[in-house]
Amino acid sequence: MPDCEMCGKKTQNLIRVRIEGAVMSVCDSCQHFGTPLETKKPAIIRQPQEVKPFVPTKREVQQIVKHTPTRPRKKEADIENLYVVEEFPRLIKEAREKMSWTQEDLAKRLMERKNVLSNIERGAFVPDIKFARKLEKILGISLIEDSS
């Protein structure tokens, strides 16, 4: 039978506790000298998720400082001024055909359904900025303009 490291009593049921920074195995009657290991936070290696800090880029920092210091995300404000050019259906279709891709080929690259793309090429659906950015990147064209 192991000994309690605190009082030396032999016991079947040793409890690991932290006493003044040291981890000790103690008996039932000594465990109140320390704090149980289970409830102790696992050091400060990882921060709780909700305190994920906003880390702005250098440019964002400048903009935040210049405008409203309380506004945390300049990126979204940027997007407000952006719009997809009117001739996007033609631009997309031409660029796609230049690559000799079918609508399906392009849709796959975009990880979208084919009818989303065919609606866009018919002008029935205007892609949002995020989607337009994807199209720009994949097709090597320019679809977004800044109205500001």
Q: For Zn ion, which is the closer residue by CB, 2 or 140?
A: 2
SS3 42: coil
* d(C-alpha 58, C-alpha 40), whole Å: 38
What residues does 84 pair with on adjacent strands?
144
Smallest distance, Å, CB 37 to Zn ion? 16
Smallest distance, Å, CB 39 to Zn ion? 20
Binding residues vs Zn ion (CB under 5 A): 4, 6-7, 9, 26-27, 30
Q: For Zn ion, which is the closer residue by CB, 31 or 107?
A: 31
Q: Name residue, tokens 């997309």.
A: 92
**Alpha-carbon torsion angle 65, 70, 75, 78, nearest 10:** -80
Smallest distance, Å, CB 12 to Zn ion? 13
* d(C-alpha 65, C-alpha 90), whole Å: 40
Q: For Zn ion, which is the closer residue by CB, 30 or 135?
A: 30
Smallest distance, Å, CB 47 to Zn ion? 36
SS3 40: coil
Smallest distance, Å, CB 34 to Zn ion? 11
Q: For Zn ion, which is the closer residue by CB, 4 or 132?
A: 4
Q: For Zn ion, which is the closer residue by CB, 12 or 147?
A: 12
